[in-house]
Amino acid sequence: MATQAESGRKTQSFVSVHAGTIAVLAGALLLAIVPLVGSRYYVSVFTQILILSIFALSLGFLMGFPKLISLGHAAFFGVGAYAAGIFATRVDPNVVLTLGVALALSLLLALVIGVLSLRSTGIYFLMITLALAQLVYVASQQWESLTGGTNGLVGIPRPELFGLLRFDRTTFFYLVLLLAVLSYLLFRTLVRSPFGRILIGIGSNEQRMRAIGYSPRSYKLTAFVVAGAVAGLSGALWAHFNGIVTPEDLHWSHSAEALIMVIAGGAGTLIGPMLGAALIWLLESALQSYTDRSTMITGIVFILFVFFARNGIAGIAQSAWERVRR
């Protein structure tokens, strides 16, 4: 059975090797026009979707390549969001600093959680990441002086850049777009690097990789930490965009949402999770304005996906593409 990684290794046309990158760049160009032609509502919608797609991408990297199914990813998102929010309200809303602090803290947390949880595998790994993330969630509720408790941290400003630029709705959108593309390229580079090959090897057969002499745990830990840091980055952007961070952002249901974005988008690809984020946003937020039964429709769509679109949106896109080529 051919994996994407294998098909990437075969010599194929430029287009099929770089299909994902081309699609992402084309999508980014299309999105870049949005503020010029759409209302401010569209700008907000796509800002939101892009931030969530960075979040889903980081988890998709973990789930698709080293096969680490985590149910605690929201902890990194939330800690990044709180870090950026607290830093922006109390110290300085400079974007380089707030994002830097968010990256650093979520990276650190990912290191701790990764060290503790990577001894377990499969469902046990899923559950221990859930447990550790829930501990962070409860901490965010209880540490009121820092986080504002259950009322959340409010009044987070949009960031600025060394006094040169104060981000408004539109410029902030471009910042998020840029970071989304950069995140994609980062993970793509990682996946195609020798490091990524080893991760894929660990994902498909850990025993074999160990037998060849690799130490799976340190590779998995590195992947886990990178993914956690990028999730923290998306959380920081979320905090600036929404102006509010609450413990709900760290709750396991937020982790589950990311998990679903990845599966519905197509695990094993990088572009799939990003598209999955858009789909879930549409199902959960947009549909809600029009029907009381949006949850049920969402459930039905998921089941249809499992039966008819086995590899999510990315799978649909790929088979459609193959059909066009033939």
Partner 1 sequence: MSEIQTLATHMLNGLAYGFLLFILAAGLSLIFGMMDVINLSHGSFYLVGGFLGVGLVDDLGNWWLALAVSVGIVAVLGLIAEISLLRPMYNRDHLDQILLTFGLALIIEDASEWLFGTTIQSMSYPRLFSETVEVFGVVIPSYRLIVIFVGLLLAGALYLLLERTRIGSIIRAGVSDREMVSALGFNITAIFGGVFVCGLALAGFAGFIGTPILGVYSGLDFEILILTLIVVVVGGLGSLTGALWASLLIGLTQILGQAYFPSFASLIIYLVMAVVLLVRPQGLFQRRYA
Partner 2 sequence: MGKGDILVPGTANGASTLRRFPFAVAMILLVAFLLLVGCGGGGGGGGQGGGEDPIRIGVILPYSGVYAQLGQDITDGMNLYFEEQGMEIAGRSVELIQEDTEANPQVGVEAARTLIERDEVEIITGTVSSAVAYGVIDLISQDQIPFVISNATGNDVTRRGIPYVFRTSASSWQVSYPMGGWLVDNGVQNVYVSAPDYAAGQEQAGGFKEGLAAAGGNLVDEAYPPLGNSDYSTYLTNISQASPQAEWSFYAGTDAVSFVRQYAEAGLKESVPLYGSGYMVEADTIEGQGDAAVGIRTGLFYASGLDNPENTAFIENFQSQFDRDPSTYAVQGYDAAWLIGEALKATEGDTDPDALVEAMEGVEFQSPRGPLSLDENHNPIQNIYIREAREQNGRIENVVIDTIENVQDPGA
> Are the C-beta atoms of residues 232 and 83 closer than 8 Å to each other?
yes
210 sits near partner 2 (criterion: CB under 8 A): no
Longest Cα–Cα distance of the chain, Å, equals 62
Q: CA-to-CA distance for 261 and 285, rounded, in angstroms?
A: 14
Residues in region 274-293 near partner 1 by CB under 8 A: 293
134 sits near partner 1 (criterion: CB under 8 A): yes
Contact with partner 1 (CB under 8 A) among 28, 302, 316, 321: 302
Contact with partner 2 (CB under 8 A) among 37, 211, 290, 303: 290
Residue 120 DSSP class: S
User: Shortest Cβ distance from residue 287 to partner 1 (Å)?
Assistant: 12
Q: CA-to-CA distance for 147 and 142, rounded, in angstroms?
A: 8
Our CB check for partner 2 shows the closer of 6 and 119 to be 6
> Are the C-beta atoms of residues 52 and 234 closer than 8 Å to each other?
yes
Pick the closest to residue 172 from 221, 238, 104 (CA basis).
238
Q: Which two three-digit tokens encode residue 76? A: 């990194």
Provide the mask over 267-286, with x wherever binding to partner 2 is found by CB under 8 A and - wherever it is not: xxx--x------x--xx-xx
- Give CA angle at 34 (41, 264), nearest 5°: 80
Q: CA-to-CA distance for 32 and 45, rounded, in angstroms?
A: 13
319 sits near partner 1 (criterion: CB under 8 A): no
Q: Is 227 left (phi over 0), alpha (psi -120 to 50) or beta?
A: alpha
Among partner 2, partner 1, none, what binds residue 39 when CB lies within 5 to 8 Å by partner kind? partner 2
> Are the C-beta atoms of residues 3 and 268 closer than 8 Å to each other?
yes
Q: What is the number of other CB atoms lying within 10 angstroms of the CB of residue 117? A: 25
Provide the mask over 105-144, with x wherever binding to partner 2 is found by CB under 8 A and - wherever it is not: ------------------------------------x---
Which residues in this chain contact partner 2 in the complex, by CB under 8 A?
1-5, 7, 38-42, 44-45, 48, 64, 67, 141, 149-152, 154-155, 200, 203-205, 242-244, 246, 248-249, 266-269, 272, 279, 282-283, 285-290, 292, 295, 301, 304, 308-311, 313-320, 322-323
Residues that bind partner 1 (CB under 8 A): 63, 69, 116-117, 119-124, 127-128, 130-132, 134-135, 138, 141-142, 252-253, 256, 259-260, 263-264, 267, 293, 295-296, 298-303, 305-307, 310
